[in-house]
């Protein structure tokens, strides 16, 4: 196995073109190095990206969109002060791993690892995120995150492509977000369930006009649940919220070394009910004071 270091974005794309599927981009290494040590992967080359943080390690908040560089560390994302609270990204990043792993691990690595329990994927999914993929020989590709995740630890990234950034629209006015992670301890733990909810309120009527839910831990990849989302629209009663939670508890899940499928479903249902109640209460308080 070779170890090569990219000196520039163009050099990184050149190396990926040269090695193709045999080359693995190496950012923080918090996912790649354990997999390498356990011989889960056997790359022909590790392509180090540590010299490219100036190009790919920034967060830009514009009027209409937000761009997070792929080499942004999880700690930088957790501590960013300009991101809208309606994204829930800072809360998710703050619950990933420990301070040490957040200081090394990157947003791009978390996304490309495509773990069933990844912390950042649920809030990025409800944000309607898009991944940007660069290549030496082709134009940049923009792929919706929901389509980029194809299977457990599998993505739509081609061997000669580099994930350079992830973007999402700025949440509209009246948007609130909730993220909660359940694990066996408070740090250095994978999520048994990670759940993100986002609602947007019509400022004229006070009704919820858009609701989004994404959950990790219930299947091979984190995903959204449109049927449950629809049950949050309007002004849902407590009975409607309980019905939505029950619907989520019926979703498929799998047993693994961290939890049984039944436990995952029960936890997801209860966390959803907690988050939905908090957001609906916020909506009602806002309506009462407007």
On the question of pLDDT at 125 being above 70, the answer is yes
Beta strands in 92-216 (DSSP E): 130-135, 141-144, 149-151, 154-155, 161-169, 175-182, 193-201, 208-216
Fold topology of 175-289: Enolase-like; domain 1 (3.30.390)
pLDDT of the residue at 287: 57
Q: Which of 28-32, 50-54, 137-141 has the lowest mean pLDDT?
A: 28-32
Inform me whether the pLDDT recorded for 11 exceeds 60: yes
The average confidence (pLDDT) of the chain is: 91
| Residue 289 pLDDT exceeds 80 | no
How far does Cα 91 stand from its chain's mean position? 11
* Rounded-to-integer distance, Cα 222 and Cα 26, Å: 23
| pLDDT of 186 above 70 | no
Q: Which residues contact 241 (CB under 8 A, 6 or more apart)?
A: 231, 232, 273, 276, 277, 280
Per-residue model confidence as pLDDT tens digits over 153-167: 999 999 999 999 999
Residue 187, pLDDT > 60, answer no
Quickly state the pLDDT bin for 191 (edges 50, 70, 90).
confident
Q: How far apart are the first and last CA of the chain?
A: 63
In whole angstroms, what is the distance from residue 131 CA to residue 168 CA? Answer: 9
Model confidence at 188: pLDDT above 70: no
CATH 3.30.465.10 fits 2-113+128-169, yes or no: yes
* Mean pLDDT of the region 181-192: 70
Whether residue 113 has pLDDT greater than 80: yes
pTM of the shown model? 0.93
Q: pLDDT for 40-53, tens place per residue? A: 889 999 999 999 99
Mean pLDDT in residue range 184-207: 81
pLDDT value of position 77:
97
Angstrom CA distances, 35 to 6, 24, 30, 110, 156, stand at 22, 12, 9, 14, 20
Burial class (CB in 10 A: 0-12, 13-18, 19+), 252: exposed
Per-residue pLDDT of 71-105, as tens digits, reads 999 999 999 999 998 899 999 999 888 888 899 99
Q: What is the rounded average pLDDT of the residues 189-215?
A: 90
Which tops the pLDDT comparison, 290 or 13? Answer: 13
Confidence (pLDDT) at 184? 65
Indicate if 175-289 has the same CATH topology as 2-113+128-169.
no
Bridge-based pairing state of the strands 2-5 and 45-48: parallel
Task: Show me where the domains of the chain are located.
Answer: 2-113+128-169, 175-289
């Amino acid at each position: 196995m070779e170890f090569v270091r990219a000196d520039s974005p163009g050099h990184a794309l050149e190396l990926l073109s040269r090695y193709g599927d045999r080359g693995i981009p190496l950012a923080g290494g918090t996912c790649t190095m354990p997999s390498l040590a356990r011989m889960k992967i056997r790359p022909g080359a590790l392509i180090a990206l540590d010299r490219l943080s100036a190009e790919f390690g920034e967060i830009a908040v514009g009027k209409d969109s937000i761009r997070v560089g792929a080499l942004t560390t999880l700690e930088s994302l957790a501590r960013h002060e300009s991101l809208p609270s309606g994204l829930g990204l800072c809360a998710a990043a703050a619950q990933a791993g420990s301070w040490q792993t957040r200081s090394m691990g990157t947003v791009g690595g978390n996304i490309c690892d495509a773990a069933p329990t990844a912390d950042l994927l649920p809030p990025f999914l409800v944000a309607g995120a898009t991944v940007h993929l660069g290549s030496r020989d082709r134009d940049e590709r923009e792929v919706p995150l929901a389509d980029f995740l194809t299977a457990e630890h599998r993505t739509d990234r081609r061997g000669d492509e580099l994930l350079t950034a992830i973007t999402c629209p700025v949440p509209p006015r009246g948007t609130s977000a909730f993220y909660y992670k359940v694990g066996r301890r408070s740090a250095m733990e994978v999520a048994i369930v990670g759940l993100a909810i986002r609602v947007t309120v019509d400022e004229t009527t006070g009704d919820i006009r858009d609701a989004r839910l994404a959950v990790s831990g219930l299947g091979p990849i984190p995903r959204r649940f449109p049927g449950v989302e629809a049950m949050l629209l309007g002004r849902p009663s407590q009975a409607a919220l309980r019905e939505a939670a029950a619907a989520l508890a019926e979703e498929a899940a799998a047993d693994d070394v961290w939890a049984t499928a039944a436990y995952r479903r029960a936890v997801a249902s209860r966390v959803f009910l907690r988050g939905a109640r908090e957001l609906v209460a916020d909506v009602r308080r806002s309506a009462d004071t407007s």
